[in-house]
Amino acid sequence: MKKIVKIEGLDCPNCAKTLEIELNKLEGVKNAEINFVKGKLSFESEDIEKAENSIVAMTKKVEPNAKIILTKPNSKKFSLFIDLLTLCLGTILGVLVLVFQSRLPLWAFWIMIVLSALLLGYKTYLKAILLLFKGIINENLLITISVIGATALGEYMEGLMVIFLYTIGKVLEKLAVDKSRKSIEKLTNLQPEYAVVVRDEKEIRVEPSEVNVGEVIIVKPGERVPIDGVILDGNATLDMQSLTGESVPVSVQVDDNILSGAIVLDGLLKIKTSEEYKNSTVSKIMNLIENAQDKKSKTETFISKITRWYTLGIIILAVLTLGIGWAITKEFSSSIYRALKLLVVSCPCAFAISVPLSYFSGLGNASKNGILIKGSNYLDALGKINLVAFDKTGTLTTGEFQVEKVESLSENYSEDDIIYLASLGEQYSLHPLAKSIVKENKRELEKIRNVKEVAGEGVYFKYNKKEFFVGRKTKEKNVSVEIFENNKLIGKIYLNDTIKDSSKEACEELKNMGVKMVLLSGDSQDKVAVTSRELGIDEFKAQLLPQDKYKILDDLKQNKENKIAYVGDGINDAPSLTLADVGISMGINGSPASIEASDVVLGDDNIKKIPLAIKISRFTRKIVWSNIILSAIVKLSILVLSLVDITGMMVAVFADVGVTLLAILNSLQTLYYNPSKKKINLKKFN
């Protein structure tokens, strides 16, 4: 049996990974997985209750600050208050003892020093000891040894400063992670708690999953639409921000389609459901978030792997530094002080925290804009994209036909008459072209009889004692409908699949970013050529089967310089979405197969979000590498200076905690990055 519980207090992805490894060692616990992004732990067990007890106990040992929530969640604010309170008390006590140390008895001095150090870093010391017993060595042990060593050498101020700055860094890290996590958690709030359905002329509140297709639901002001449907009665303004990322309210009225997850700001709506809850927009997004794999980028994975062995290596190096220094100088005190400085300055916090935090913040920024990325590895891959391959119908175009031109071939009928006559016959048809023609008609339609629809041909009917035919009798390359009166052609209506407004903006922006584009479609050569020309796409291929698209992408990938994103929405796009370096699908109108196969999902089907996703990725990668380079340069410089005794412990503390804080603050830029407000040259950062 599988169970998912909430876990609080994990502020670091590396901490989450360490705990996950230990939980999987427990007897009776299988496939334990921590989703750091959502703060959830999933596991499998035949005895859930026994497994929960074991998991809670192990969590207390490995991560004392973390809590498994089996009932109601604890208050994060209270936990933060305790952290800040102990930090303040420890700081005040440390300042007092350092100011009045000459007036204090020796016993009082040591009690106050120890108490101050404990208040400032008790969580760090406890975690270091518990993990050490399990054979795990990380930065907590480095800090603990440094504090004890500095204090033992009489460097009380430096010892307290090490743990004070480290703890400040952890508090700020926690605040930064919580801020970033909220952006993603907003998506989980899309899920409605109930639906008001009309049954036997009564309004009944039920679970959304209990509403059937075709039933009528009521949504009042302030409520969230629970299921996709069509408005039967009423008009309202909708807040779509949490669903699509757009802040401008949207007005809807009778016959408009409405998506679940939207909030009704004003007006009362009666909606006829068109989908089961499990197939509604909000459910699709929820499933996507729940099932998204916690995949790390190559950079993040590399840093995570290095830090496991890096800490042990630093301790060994510190011991060697102590031994060699003592052997050469014959001064134990200065040698151990030098070794302690090495421990502090070499702490991997800046790398271990800032890199995953940068990617995490980038994912939060993307989700805030309605772009759902399934892992930091895909966020990283997006920044390298230099070629985007598009499907046409339903991706770049709406998939809905629109009347483009009306041609009258008879003096007796105007263009409006041609539309009206065609609509008379098509008003009963379910064909997509028929619906588009009827929608174009502006006159009230008469009810006619003797209507005969012939599949593959068109509609025959009588009107004003004349026989009419609406359909297709000639072969043309364009999508058109012909109107005949008594077997004489009197008019033509030309239709075209309309291009999305967002497609034009997206293609123009991608071109400005230096990204090449190619259009791959199963449609006719002429139609694909027109779409390609209107969007400014230089290269296109038409009349393709799914395997043809796959073969073209495979050929393009043979050139190692090509980093390809494929954008599609249908089940036939799934193979190409999987093959591409990054697969991008539509979140609303996309098929379940395409959403499953893709790595990035556009929550509102807005193609314009693709350039934004690439820009966020490029900026995130820029921040990641700037953190790595900055941390490495500063730490290496201070390390060399420390080993030759040019700098003291305070400078070493800055090199560790100071650089870590700078890296954290730098990482948060990815959460607030907005390319429309901040002009940064990202073209060459591929």
Element (H, E) at 238: strand 236-239
How far apart, in whole angstroms, are the C-alpha atoms of residue 655 and residue 634? Answer: 6
pLDDT for 518: 95
The band of 293, judged by pLDDT with boundaries at 50, 70 and 90, is very low
Residues 494-532 have pLDDT tens digits of 887 788 888 999 999 999 999 999 999 877 788 888 889
Region 322-350: mean pLDDT is 76
By the 8 A CB rule, do 580 and 219 touch? no
Between 343 and 108, the higher pLDDT residue: 108
CB of 306 within 8 A of CB of 335?
no
Quote the mean pLDDT of the chain: 80
Residue 61 or 421, more confident: 421
Q: Please state, in angstroms and as integers, the Cα–Cα distance from residue 439 to each residue in 183, 422, 423, 444, 447, following that order.
A: 40, 11, 9, 11, 16
Between these two residues, 599 and 682, which has the higher pLDDT value? 599
CATH of 2-74, one of 3.30.70.100, 3.10.20.740, 3.20.20.80, 3.40.50.300: 3.30.70.100
The residue-averaged pLDDT of 557-569 equals 90
pLDDT tens for each residue of 424-466: 988 877 666 788 899 899 899 988 877 887 755 788 999 988 9
Residue 343 CB partners (closer than 8 Å, separation 6+): 142, 145, 146, 149, 314, 315, 318
Q: How confident is the model at residue 304 (pLDDT cuts 50, 70, 90)?
A: low
Candidates 3.60.20.10, 3.40.50.300, 3.40.1110.10, 2.60.40.10; correct CATH number of 398-499? 3.40.1110.10
| Cβ–Cβ under 8 Å, residues 540 and 528 | yes
Q: Are 565 and 388 in contact (CB under 8 A)?
A: yes
Q: Which of 444, 433, 381 is nearest to 580 (CA)?
A: 381
Most confident of 489-493, 579-583, 640-644: 489-493
**Which residues lie across from 602 on neighbouring strands?**
371, 586
Q: What is the pLDDT of residue 231?
A: 93
Calculate mean pLDDT across residues 315-334.
80
Question: Does residue 49 or residue 303 have the better pLDDT?
Answer: 49
Nearest in space to 437 (alpha carbons), one of 475, 395, 404: 404
For the chain, give the percent of residues with pLDDT over 90. Answer: 19
**pLDDT exceeds cutoff 90 at 614:** yes
User: For residues 79 and 600, which has the higher predicted lDDT (pLDDT)?
Assistant: 600
* pTM (predicted TM-score): 0.61
Catalytic residues: 391
Who contacts 633 (Cβ-Cβ below 8 Å, separation ≥6)? none
Mean pLDDT across 615-627: 91
Q: What is the pLDDT at residue 215?
A: 94
Percent of the chain exceeding pLDDT 70 equals 81
- Tell me: pLDDT of 604 over 90: no
- pLDDT, tens only, 668-677: 788 888 887 6
Sort 189 into a burial class: Cβ within 10 Å, 0-12 / 13-18 / 19+: exposed
How is the chain split into domains, by residue range?
Answer: 2-74, 78-185+295-347+638-672, 398-499
User: Which residue type is seen at 303?
Assistant: I
Q: In the prediction, which pLDDT does 492 show?
A: 94
Band (pLDDT 50/70/90 cuts) for residue 556 is very high
Q: Which residues pair with 361 in a beta bridge?
A: none
pLDDT at 198: 92
- pLDDT interval class at 412 (50, 70, 90): very high
| pLDDT > 80? residue 643 | no
Decide if 2-74 and 398-499 have a common fold: no
Among all chains, which residue has been given the structure tokens 């300055």? Answer: 345
Within 13 Å and on the Cβ side, how many CA atoms surround 212? 4
Instruction: Give the residue with greater pLDDT, 25 vs 192.
Output: 25
